[in-house]
């Protein structure tokens, strides 16, 4: 009987063949024959190995459990939400009212982080501005118009610059006048300074600006108040003076501000983009002394609206009059003081009033026990209320003029001496 031809066939049998292989040599196709024989024990071991290699199916807590939910791409849904979220604060989960009081406890207080509220408060409320101050009409009109234009930009068929750059001479009240306007309008702004525009870590200042911008947006959304981002003395942090070095942080800050101007409602702080992550448009106000030292594309007209602030004689007299109003100085006397010291910045008249306190302070130090004992008594007795009562000096025009002449003398000495040239006279050669 002739055996059929076998081509690369595999047999699985449970017996050991008794026919020697040489018997198959008479068949021409024996080389294609592959016979694999195994016992039941080998079958069991192989099945166990295959079961071990196969991944075990993870048992789910529940078919409706959100902890194990997957998105459309098969990724963990809760993990994706956490990666997309901009709220990286982990302390909120242990705050009273957020979770059950049983887990919050009482022995360390209701909140897990007792300084959480204070550390997160980056907005300014201007509670310290007590009294009646004068706001220059031209300054008021420019700031109010810029803020309102940005809040109604979606209603205007015009390009609205996001940044208002207020620049001018030193000590002319640019920052202070702006803060007075914020207080009058009920705005709760986020205020930065030029010192925050540099860091030992690359990219940190740019990220800080984006975080502060989003914080101002959250004030609008969560508190229902108007807000804005203000950066004081921006040219001191971004300006180029002589051979100053340009750092990576300078470039990133400039690029961040330019990007905010071009995309004011899409701001990322490192989280994944979400389609519905829309930020409120927040106006930005920056102050400085010389914007010509800054990167030109940042201060172009489409991104920044410039406002040169130089107070008029009337503005100076009105501001100084409000400054001296509690001292009983009349408006005519204020005009005399301003005319006596022309071409001086507004801060000069504040420093002039401050210098009149010097003699009264020295007398108070003597009444306290002298310079040798002032440190101990000032720190310890301040808590007990045992310090002598400080009597402020009586302001007169003569005392103010005397202080003004001493300030002018110091200014003249600095300009005439120029000791830096004397110390580095070889540098000019």
Output the pLDDT for position 382. Answer: 65
Residues 261, 347, single domain; the answer is no
Strand, coil or helix: 274: coil
Task: Summarize the confidence of residues 333-339 as an average pLDDT.
Answer: 93
| Chain mean pLDDT for the chain | 78
Residues 165, 270, single domain; the answer is yes
Nearest residue to 207 (alpha-carbon basis) of 121, 58, 348, 88: 88
Per-residue model confidence as pLDDT tens digits over 179-219: 999 999 999 999 999 999 998 888 899 999 999 999 999 99
Give the range of the structural domain holding residue 150, as residue numbers without chain letter: 113-308
Question: Does residue 161 form part of some domain?
Answer: yes
- Cβ-in-10-Å burial (0-12, 13-18, 19+) of 20 comes to exposed
Output the pLDDT for position 15. Answer: 44
Question: Does residue 88 form part of some domain?
Answer: no
Q: pLDDT band at 370, cuts 50/70/90?
A: confident
Sign for the CA dihedral angle at 48, 53, 54, 58 comes to positive
Give the integer Cα–Cα distance in Å for 161 and 181.
20
Range with lowest mean pLDDT among 162-176, 194-208, 220-234, 378-392: 378-392
Question: Does residue 46 form part of some domain?
Answer: no
Show which of 287, 308, 329 is a domain's final residue.
308
Give the integer Cα–Cα distance in Å for 316 and 417.
30
Question: Does residue 3 form part of some domain?
Answer: no
Residue 41 has pLDDT above 60, yes or no: no
Residues 217, 332, single domain; the answer is no
Q: What is the DSSP pairing of strand 284-288 with strand 163-167? A: parallel
For residue 229, the tally of other CB atoms under 10 A from its CB is 24
Output the pLDDT for position 80. Answer: 67
Show which of 258, 282, 308 is a domain's final residue.
308
Please, what is the Cα angle at 379 between 375 and 381, to 5 degrees? 110
> Which secondary structure element, helix H or strand E, spans residue 177, and what is its range?
helix 174-185
Question: Does residue 319 form part of some domain?
Answer: yes
Residue whose token pair is 């409320």: 125
Beta-carbon contacts of 396 under 8 Å, excluding residues fewer than 6 positions away, are none
Residues 127, 177, single domain; the answer is yes
Residues 421, 301, single domain; the answer is no
- Cβ-in-10-Å burial (0-12, 13-18, 19+) of 382 comes to exposed
Residues 204, 223, single domain; the answer is yes
pTM: 0.69
CATH of the domain at 302: 3.40.50.300
CATH of the domain at 363: 1.10.8.1070
Q: pLDDT band at 27, cuts 50/70/90?
A: very low
Please, what is the Cα angle at 104 between 99 and 109, to 5 degrees? 130
Higher-pLDDT residue of 208 and 417 is 208
Task: Summarize the confidence of residues 104-108 as an average pLDDT.
Answer: 50
Residue 319 has pLDDT above 50, yes or no: yes
Question: Does residue 32 form part of some domain?
Answer: no
Task: Summarize the confidence of residues 354-382 as an average pLDDT.
Answer: 83
Residues 171, 215, single domain; the answer is yes
Question: Does residue 422 form part of some domain?
Answer: yes
Domain count, the chain: 2
Alpha helix positions (H), 11-100: 40-53, 77-84
278: tokens are 């829309």
Residues 171, 300, single domain; the answer is yes
Residues 220, 117, single domain; the answer is yes
Output the pLDDT for position 162. Answer: 96
Per-residue model confidence as pLDDT tens digits over 44-93: 555 555 555 555 556 655 555 556 677 667 777 666 666 665 554 444 44
Range with lowest mean pLDDT among 97-101, 195-199, 301-305: 97-101
Q: pLDDT band at 310, cuts 50/70/90?
A: very high
Show which of 308, 343, 372 is a domain's final residue.
308
Output the pLDDT for position 13. Answer: 44
Residues 342, 257, single domain; the answer is no
Complete edge-to-edge strand list for the sheet that includes strand 284-288: 190-193, 229-232, 284-288, 163-167, 304-308
Strand, coil or helix: 167: strand
Residue whose token pair is 């021409």: 28
Residue 264 has pLDDT above 70, yes or no: yes
Residues 247, 173, single domain; the answer is yes
Residues 281, 327, single domain; the answer is no
Strand, coil or helix: 238: helix
Question: Does residue 287 form part of some domain?
Answer: yes
For residue 205, the tally of other CB atoms under 10 A from its CB is 23
């Amino acid at each position: 009987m002739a055996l059929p031809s076998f081509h690369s066939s595999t047999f699985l049998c449970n017996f050991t063949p008794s026919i020697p292989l040489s018997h198959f040599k008479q068949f021409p196709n024996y080389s294609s024959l592959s016979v694999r024989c195994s016992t039941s024990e080998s079958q069991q071991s192989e099945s166990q190995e295959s079961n071990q290699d196969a991944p075990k199916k993870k048992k789910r807590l529940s078919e409706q459990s959100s902890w194990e939910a997957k998105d459309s791409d098969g990724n963990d849904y809760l993990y994706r939400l956490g990666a997309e979220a901009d709220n990286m604060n982990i302390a909120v989960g242990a705050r009273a009212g957020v979770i059950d009081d049983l887990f919050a406890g009482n022995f360390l207080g209701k909140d897990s982080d007792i300084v959480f509220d204070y550390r997160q408060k980056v907005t300014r409320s201007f509670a310290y501005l007590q009294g009646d101050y004068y706001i220059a009409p031209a300054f008021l009109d420019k700031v109010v118009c810029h803020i309102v234009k940005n809040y109604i930009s979606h209603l205007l068929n015009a390009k609205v610059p996001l940044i208002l750059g207020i620049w001018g001479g030193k000590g002319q009240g640019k920052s202070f006048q702006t803060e007075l306007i914020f207080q009058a309008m009920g705005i709760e702004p986020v205020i930065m300074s030029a010192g925050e525009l540099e860091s030992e870590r690359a990219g940190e200042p740019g990220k800080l600006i984006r975080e502060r911008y989003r914080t101002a947006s959250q004030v609008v959304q969560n508190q229902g108040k108007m807000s804005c981002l203000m950066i004081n003395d921006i040219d001191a942090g971004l300006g180029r003076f002589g051979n100053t070095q340009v750092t990576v942080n300078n470039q990133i800050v400039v690029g961040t501000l330019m990007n905010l101007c071009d995309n004011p409602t899409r701001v990322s702080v490192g989280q994944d983009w979400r389609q519905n992550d829309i930020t409120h448009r927040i106006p930005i106000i920056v102050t400085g002394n010389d914007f010509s030292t800054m990167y030109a594309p940042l201060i172009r007209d489409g991104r920044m609206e410039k406002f040169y602030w130089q107070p008029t004689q009337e503005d100076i007299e009105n501001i100084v009059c409000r400054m001296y109003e509690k001292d009983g100085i009349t408006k005519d006397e204020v005009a005399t003081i301003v005319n006596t010291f022309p071409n001086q910045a507004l801060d000069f008249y504040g420093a002039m009033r401050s210098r009149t306190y010097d003699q009264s302070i020295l007398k108070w130090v003597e009444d306290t026990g002298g310079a040798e004992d002032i440190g101990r008594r000032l720190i310890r007795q301040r808590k007990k209320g045992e310090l002598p009562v400080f009597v402020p000096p009586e302001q007169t025009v003569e005392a103010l003029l005397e202080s003004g002449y001493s300030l002018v003398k110091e200014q003249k000495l600095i300009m005439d001496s120029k000791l830096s040239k004397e110390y580095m006279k070889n540098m000019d050669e």
